[in-house]
Amino acid sequence: MLNGVRVLDLCDERGYVAGWMLAELGAEVVAIEPTGGSPARRLGPFAGGKSDEGKTDASLCWWAYARNKRSAVVGVYWWQKRASHLRSQAQH
């Protein structure tokens, strides 16, 4: 349905379902993560029943919502610019 559509997923945990749904509908979704990975990678429950410190692939939450997505990590400066842009948009 959405083949050929590319989506940058810039959301936090409140928007994970939206990116997942777009990916399920055929869009190419790229999850942009901060340095250290998405916070969803640290949400339980975990494969094996517990979190392994420093391991970012054991979260069942992440497996569910990142399905059919690609990921890219960007640095802190980029996230600060994004936050500044969002603040300026909210004031207009």
Q: Is residue 72 part of a domain?
A: yes
Structure confidence by residue, pLDDT tens digits, 25-73: 999 999 988 888 888 888 888 887 766 665 656 888 889 999 999 988 8
pLDDT (mean) for 3-14: 89
Is residue 1 situated within a structural domain?
Answer: no
Sheet harboring 69-74: ordered strands across? Answer: 6-9, 28-34, 69-74
State which residues form the domain around 68: 6-91
Q: Tell me, what DSSP letter sits at residue 47?
A: G
C-alpha distances (whole Å) from 25 to each of 40, 63, 92 are 22, 17, 33
For the chain, the domain total comes to 1
Q: Residue 75 is inside which H or E element, if any?
A: none
Q: Rounded to 5 degrees, what are φ and ψ at 86?
A: -65, -40
Q: Give the global pTM.
A: 0.71
- Beta carbons of 39 and 31 less than 8 angstroms apart: no
